[in-house]
């Protein structure tokens, strides 16, 4: 699973979910021929990224090359069950990446367009965002 090796700050602020804000980077297909682009915003954790990656590689029968354009570097904390209020922020539970509308999350090259469409359709079911297929 993806997670940072070393972080400057162990715990981050949560941030604000601004659905109206569009992505400013990762807007086009840069490495492969086809991509999957987010049309909504949310947090995607490392388990969901791995599930989508496995769906793509299994469908393409390990043909072609897959690029993962997102990396979970934002820590999310969680307190234990039945812990009373107060006594500080909880421990880091998992890592997420912030997805904004218009961001290309995965890219695929070396396969036909029909194969790429079906692979990204399966991967889109594993992700908590609405997605669309894009070409270079």
What's 53-82 look like in SS3? HHHHHHHCCCCCEEEECCCCCEEEEECCCC
Confidence of residue 16 (pLDDT cuts 50, 70, 90): confident
For the chain, the domains span 44-77+93-135
Q: Which pLDDT tens digit goes with each residue over 43-96?
A: 999 999 999 999 999 999 988 999 999 999 999 999 999 999 999 999 999 999
Q: Given this model, what pLDDT does residue 62 score?
A: 87
Q: What is the pLDDT of residue 21?
A: 82
- Residue 131: predicted pLDDT: 97
At 59 the pLDDT is 96
Contact 136, 34 (CB under 8 A): yes
With cut-offs at 50, 70 and 90, classify the pLDDT of residue 20. low
Please check the confidence at residue 30 and state whether its pLDDT lies above 70: yes
In this prediction, residue 11 carries a pLDDT of 96
The CATH H-level (homologous superfamily) assignment of domain 44-77+93-135 is: Ribosomal protein L16/L10 (3.90.1170.10)
Mean pLDDT of all residues in 97-112: 96
For residues 21 and 23, give the distance between their C-alpha atoms in angstroms, rounded to a whole number: 7
Q: Is the pLDDT of residue 33 over 70?
A: yes
């Amino acid at each position: 699973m993806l997670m940072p090796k070393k972080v400057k700050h162990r715990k981050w602020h949560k941030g604000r979910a601004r659905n109206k804000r569009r992505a400013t980077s990762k807007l086009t297909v840069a490495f492969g021929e086809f991509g999957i682009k987010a049309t909504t915003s949310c947090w995607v954790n490392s388990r969901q990224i791995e599930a989508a990656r496995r769906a793509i590689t299994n469908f393409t029968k390990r043909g072609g090359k897959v690029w993962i354009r997102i990396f979970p570097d934002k820590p999310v904390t969680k307190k234990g069950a039945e812990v009373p209020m107060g006594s500080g922020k909880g421990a880091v539970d998992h890592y997420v990446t912030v997805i904004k509308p218009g961001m290309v999350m995965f890219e695929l090259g070396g396969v036909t367009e029909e194969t790429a469409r079906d692979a990204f359709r399966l991967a889109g079911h594993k992700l908590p965002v609405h997605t669309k297929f894009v070409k270079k």
